């Protein structure tokens, strides 16, 4: 008799954004005349940059001719893309990463959820609280998180690192030593970052305790301050303790195109085994490569024209972030983030819960955000707004909130 993976049955409720989607759809159905502004999900709104479109068109034409047609991509990704990544994302920042340490994929969501597969089933994970839900849920599915406490909204075998106003939304080194540490900076959902010196403490801690850091740098392009690291490999010793995840979704608008990569340095040894080899084996068995067309588009991200166009695109979103942050501050809200990240993290007014504020905002301003509690118990009483809308919608949303 076929049986299901019972770990899936332990997952509480539905995925955060499906719940939001259902609530918004119900509100719209009941109020067809209202125009809803969505500043909830972290999806981009600006079209792909012209240089990327040009590259996509060229690659499509290549696929139409026998001489330039491409079938399965190489397991790790095309050399032209991995070289461009190494030159621009690493060498240019003084980080030592080789092209064969890059594994091209279809995005950071898949990589951040799949990476746990190469670690022991009883590995103890540590996550920030609040956190991008994928890290925890993928470990739940793998049976690694113990028993769920519905009241506390925590798992018995997960180490939670609260990120609160009192610690500047930066996690503290956990007293109980984890095997795997998930870090994401600039952070989703808080929009907070840590300095290079702070990240160095994590690298030292991981090396000292034989832990592995899974560093999600999906929002790296939004860093504006100089002491914030763009890659964990800027820290000394990171090659022996850190895996880095990158995405083309937020820096280049590839949420619907799909491209990302994972870096596993060859010196990263766990239990006497090189993780690079394990991930290569996993990648080779379970993944057949990002499309040639998309990898060519990824290459265009690193061209001079592409870089200039994307700098403008990031600036466009960061102008929205500024508009939200300044507008809400002026309206008396307590806000953080939005300086090195496209997320604004605000405290709900009048001690409303995150979901109460969600409903309040939806009903009274017809604006959709994301309840902080959906990202973990320490997110309760907070609310996330994204800067990924259009400028016009962002401005209109803030004007509506100001009038409440
Ligand atoms: C922290 C973080 N990592 C990864 C992702 C997913 O990125 P991708 O589109 O490359 O799958 C997101 C998307 O919102 C994210 O917020």
Give 15-82 as a 3 state SS string: CHHHHHHHHHHHHHHHCCCCCCEECCCCCCCCCCCHHHHHHHHHHHHHHCCHHHCCCCCCCCCCHHHH
pLDDT of 132-156, one tens digit each?
999 999 999 999 999 999 999 999 9
C-alpha 388/C-alpha 317 separation (Å) is: 6
Q: Quick one: which of 61, 130, 184 has its CA closest to 345? A: 130
Q: Would you call 198 exposed, middle or buried from its count of C-beta atoms within 10 A (0-12, 13-18, 19+)?
A: middle
CATH topology of domain 53-303: 3.40.640
Contact (CB, 8 A) for 103 and 76:
yes
What does the pLDDT read at residue 235?
Answer: 98
What is the atom index within ligand 1 of the atom nearest the CA of 260? 10
CA of 247 to the centre of ligand 1 (A): 7
Ligand 1: lining residues by beta carbon, under 6 Å: 42, 107-109, 112, 132, 184, 188, 216, 218, 247, 249, 255, 260
Look-up of token digits 């090195």: 340
C-alpha 154/C-alpha 156 separation (Å) is: 7
Domain locations in the chain as residue ranges: 6-47+305-402, 53-303
CA of 253 to the centre of ligand 1 (A): 12
Which ranges of 210-303 would DSSP assign to H, the alpha helix?
249-252, 275-286, 292-301
Centroid of chain to Cα 236: 24
What does the pLDDT read at residue 267?
Answer: 98
CA of 248 to the centre of ligand 1 (A): 9
What is the atom index within ligand 1 of the atom nearest the CA of 184? 1
Residue nearest to atom 12 of ligand 1 (CA): 109
Positions in the chain whose pLDDT score sits under 50: none
C-alpha 399/C-alpha 393 separation (Å) is: 10
Omega before residue 189 within 30° of 0, cis: yes
pLDDT of 354-365, one tens digit each?
999 999 999 999
What does the pLDDT read at residue 42?
Answer: 86
CA of 400 to the centre of ligand 1 (A): 29
Residue nearest to atom 6 of ligand 1 (CA): 109
What does the pLDDT read at residue 371?
Answer: 96
What does the pLDDT read at residue 12?
Answer: 87
CA of 131 to the centre of ligand 1 (A): 12
In this structure, whether the domain defined by 6-47+305-402 belongs to CATH 3.40.640.10 is answered with no
Residue nearest to atom 7 of ligand 1 (CA): 108
What does the pLDDT read at residue 223?
Answer: 98
Per the structure block, which two tokens stand in for 153? 């909204």
CA of 260 to the centre of ligand 1 (A): 9
């Amino acid at each position: 008799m076929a049986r299901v993976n019972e770990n899936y049955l332990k997952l509480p409720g539905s995925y955060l954004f499906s719940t939001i989607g259902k609530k918004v759809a119900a509100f719209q159905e009941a109020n067809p005349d209202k125009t809803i502004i969505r500043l909830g999900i972290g999806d981009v709104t600006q079209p792909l940059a012209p240089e990327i479109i040009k590259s996509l068109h060229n690659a499509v034409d290549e696929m139409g001719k026998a001489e330039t047609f491409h079938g399965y991509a190489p397991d790790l990704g095309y050399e032209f893309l991995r070289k461009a990544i190494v030159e621009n994302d690493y060498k240019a920042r003084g980080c030592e990463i080789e092209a064969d340490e890059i594994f091209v994929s279809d995005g950071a969501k898949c990589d951040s959820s799949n990476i746990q597969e190469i670690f022991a089933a009883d590995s103890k994970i540590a996550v920030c609280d609040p956190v991008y839900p994928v890290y925890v849920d993928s470990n739940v599915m793998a049976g690694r998180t113990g028993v769920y406490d519905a009241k506390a909204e925590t798992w018995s075998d997960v180490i939670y690192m609260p990120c609160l106003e009192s610690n500047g939304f930066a996690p503290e080194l956990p007293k109980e030593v984890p095997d795997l540490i998930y870090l994401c900076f600039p952070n989703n959902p808080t929009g907070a970052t840590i300095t290079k010196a702070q990240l160095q403490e994590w690298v030292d801690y991981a090396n000292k305790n034989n832990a592995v850091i899974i560093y999600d740098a999906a929002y790296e392009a939004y860093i504006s301050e100089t002491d914030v690291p763009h890659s964990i490999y800027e820290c000394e010793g990171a090659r022996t303790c850190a895996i880095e995840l990158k995405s083309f979704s937020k820096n280049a608008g590839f949420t619907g195109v799909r491209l990302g990569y994972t870096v596993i340095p060859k010196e990263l040894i766990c239990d006497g085994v090189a993780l690079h080899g394990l991930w290569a084996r996993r990648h080779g068995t379970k993944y057949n490569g990002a499309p040639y067309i998309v990898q060519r588009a990824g290459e265009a991200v690193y061209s001079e024209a592409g870089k200039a166009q994307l700098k403008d695109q990031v600036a466009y979103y960061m102008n929205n972030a500024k508009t939200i942050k300044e507008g809400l501050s002026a309206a008396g809200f307590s806000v953080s983030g939005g300086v090195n990240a496209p997320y604004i993290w605000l405290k709900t007014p009048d001690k409303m819960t995150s979901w109460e504020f969600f409903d309040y905002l939806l009903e009274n301003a017809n604006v959709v955000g994301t309840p902080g509690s959906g990202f973990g118990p320490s997110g309760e009483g907070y609310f996330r707004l994204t800067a990924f809308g259009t400028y016009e919608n962002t401005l209109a949303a803030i004007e509506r909130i100001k009038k409440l």
